[in-house]
Structure 1
Amino acid sequence: MSRGNVTIKPVAETMTLTNITEQEPNVTQKFVSCLENGGSPEVQLVNDTEVMKMLVPDTNITSKEQPGKCILVLFYSKYCPFSSLAAPPFNALSRVFPDIKMVAINAMLYHLFNTQNGIVGLPSLLLFHNGKIVAKYNETDYKLELFSKFITKATGIKAEEKVFVKSEDFRGPVHSLPFRWFDPLMLLSWTFIIICAFYYFTKTKFWKWIIETVKRNWRESEAQAQHEHVE
């Protein structure tokens, strides 16, 4: 599937993802080679167009062993509590891995890019080398230590400083507190459903029985009140 001059194939067509966390023992790990100082001072929030431009491959690079641009992409949602848990450790990664560019994309806004990369759950963490997926984070815990091990096992690069989350990592760029979700279209849909359901309910025999019962009780109450007034 293409957009402009950029072509990104679905995961199943590009390569088999490396499950970094389930390596068999005594198996020689081949690292991908990353360009030095290819990262940025902090995580960059991007849209689908921006990240596609970042993933344009260099045609001179033909293997993972050749130094190429390494990009770690976090697919997240501002309304997902698990994405919020992953946010602080992910925000800290750009500080300890300056050779790898850290970017985050709001997967709720850019569905096409999710489909192209086989994203079925949030948060998801994918490592790209020269525009191609080389590894996917498969753990269910979102901790800085695990993120760092994931990067090291894929690239051979070790963190440049002691791995821990600082207070500023909770403030962004990726939000560490989930937003309250409100969709006006969903509210309108439910309102329409309720109105339709009530309309069809008024056509039932049970509704007619309710109306007749209320009218009868009302007449009896009025008659009793008038009788008491006369006495």
Structure 2
Amino acid sequence: MARRRQLYEGKAKIIFEGPEPGTVVQYFKDDATAFNNQKKGTITGKGVLNNRISEYLMTRLGQIGVPTHFIRRLNMREQLVRQAEIIPLEVIVRNLAAGSFAQRFKMEEGTPLPRSIIEFCYKNDDLGDPMVAEEHITAFGWASPPEIDDIVQQTIRINDFLTGLFLGIGIRLVDFKIEFGRVWDNDVMRIILADEISPDSCRLWDADTNEKMDKDRFRRDMGEVEEAYQEVARRLGVMPENPSDFKGPKLVH
């Protein structure tokens, strides 16, 4: 595919003009950042792995009726997605206490929460992506009350599905971050899942050992970052070691 005009470059991806109206090309980089861009580095092959992992998870979510921006994967690092007006919110789902949440409430990492907790953060690197309440979201016009309701309902469904899917391959979905955008179909606005779902945006722990299999290995200088991402991809079946023996994840209800 010929290189097209660059529209935007973020910390982990570059967005290019798409081949047809209403589409863009999402390119996955190997660049890694943490702590609001204060720590920077490279995870070799991360872009390739995240492209395949996000493709698989977005496709599975689409199959259960969750609307997403994903159209198809173009090559090892690029995928064609619907162009959406990104809502400037990070939606964070927490199933276990970990990371900044555990520090904030002085809880031991891995402590189960009474129920899954959904938090919102305002997408602004200069401000450090501050946590916000629904009052902030509606007051500043980032999303309307019905849009927030739609986002929350979709997020709960996404969490339920992904928790079972990952558990089926021996991984605990500790927490994750997702983003949503607006698209218009025949003058009707819809909220769809956008961005990516990958070890960059999820905390994934081995269900038996609690070994971290995500970007925390980069954040905390734990080493074997590439191997952790590869293991997630292998268990999902998107890069199996032996395609004839590995059948992919089994969904746990």
- After TM superposition, the score normalised by the length of structure 2 is 0.25
* Larger relative contact order (CA 8 Å, sep ≥ 6): 1
Higher Rg of the two aligned structures: 1
Richer in helix (by share): 1
- After TM superposition, the score normalised by the length of structure 1 is 0.27
Richer in strand (by share): 2
